[in-house]
Amino acid sequence: MDRVSSRATSDPVRLEHRGCPLGCAQADRPLLVGRDRLLGLPGRFRVVQCRGCGLARTDPRPTRECIGRYYPEDYHWAPIPGERRRLPPILRALRDALSDAHGTATPPQPPGRLLEVGCGMGTYLHEMAGRGWAVEGIEPSPTASDAARGLGYRVQAGGVETAEPPGHAVDLVVAWFVLEHLHDPLAALRRLRGWVRPGGWLAASVPDLASLDYRLFRSRWYSLHLPHHLFHYTPATLRRVVGEAGWQVERVFHQRNVLNLAGSLGLVLEGDLGRGHPLARPFLACCEGSRWNYVLAPLARFLAHYGHTGRMCIWARRP
Ligand SMILES: [Zn+2]
């Protein structure tokens, strides 16, 4: 077991090596060595790719017991539901037309029971409750899960690995940018499949390592997010992992936004010019929902069409 110095305590962070979760016998090939560029936490981390199935992973990685040290208290920050700016109707219609509903699109079906894994402060739960869904969530951050419960929803604090099963079979499980954070995504996906009714759905999103923006930026790619991201998927490996967990994959598609591209440019400028440099700020602000997202919507649609926005979604069904 390797060690790196810790952020919050003098205890070393414990690192562990794990083989490909798909059980491939082939050796790994090294992809890159990177560091945390979003929060500036210490440590350098290696990403390797399985020569058998192509699934990439952070290796070695912080253990389950230590990974919490890399998540600051405000990691799950999100706009508080109901506080969206009021706009005149014509601007509101334009905003809705240009915004990326594709990023959290779910398979067409009437409202039923929805479980969100990694629900943060409950923004999405609140939105779906407003559309008639009976919602509940699971969220590792105690602060964020408290906030989501404060909105009146059943939200368990903790991970999907240890959460109590929902009281009823659910119709739809969503996991927006969660699978890349899990130590054992296969076990989690199998567990979730058991909670969904036969014919029910999984909708999930993850960064796409096969995208143009990863190839351009490599260790400075915005969505690399080391060491928080333990797995780095491509459309092929995402299909493989979800399928291996017993789901029938129906569709993989790309989100219509350029958040990764803007964020990566911001990180490159910050790295070269210094943290908080005014030239890097507009690019990083783009990732937090600035107006540039609307201006860049046509480019985002073009890149999404060719599978190069660096963020993808999967829809899969329990057979
Ligand atoms: Zn493999």
pLDDT at 291: 67
CA angle centred on 204, ends 201 and 206, rounded to 5°: 160
Torsion, Cα 105 107 109 111, to 10 degrees, reads -40
Are the beta carbons of 313 and 103 closer than 8 angstroms?
Answer: yes
pLDDT at 82: 47
- Return the residue matching tokens 């014919």: 199
Distance 237 CA to ligand 1 centre (A): 9
Between CA 229 and CA 204 the distance in angstroms is 15
- Neighbouring residues of 138: CB distance < 8 A, sequence distance ≥ 6: 115, 116, 117, 118, 119, 155, 156, 158, 159, 160, 163
How many other CB atoms sit within 10 Å of the CB of residue 27?
Answer: 11
Distance 302 CA to ligand 1 centre (A): 32
Distance 239 CA to ligand 1 centre (A): 13
Are the beta carbons of 196 and 170 closer than 8 angstroms?
Answer: yes
Alpha helices in 2-115 (DSSP H): 89-98
Distance 49 CA to ligand 1 centre (A): 8
pLDDT at 268: 83
How deeply is 101 buried, as exposed, middle or buried, from its count of CB atoms within 10 A (0-12, 13-18, 19+)?
exposed
Distances (CA, A) of 145 to 116, 185, 288: 12, 21, 21
Name the pairing type of β-strands 56-58 and 231-232.
Answer: antiparallel
Are the beta carbons of 222 and 263 closer than 8 angstroms?
Answer: yes
- Neighbouring residues of 57: CB distance < 8 A, sequence distance ≥ 6: 18, 20, 21, 47, 48, 49, 50, 230, 231, 232
Tokens for 273, please give them: 């010019």
Distance 52 CA to ligand 1 centre (A): 5
Distance 190 CA to ligand 1 centre (A): 18
Are the beta carbons of 71 and 116 closer than 8 angstroms?
Answer: no
How many other CB atoms sit within 10 Å of the CB of residue 5?
Answer: 11
Sites in the chain below the pLDDT cut of 70: 1-11, 76-102, 287-291, 293
Strands (E) located in the chain: 2-4, 13-16, 28-35, 44-50, 56-58, 61-62, 113-117, 134-139, 154-157, 170-176, 196-207, 231-232, 248-254, 311-317
Distance 45 CA to ligand 1 centre (A): 19
pLDDT at 235: 97
Distance 42 CA to ligand 1 centre (A): 29
Position 149, amino acid: R
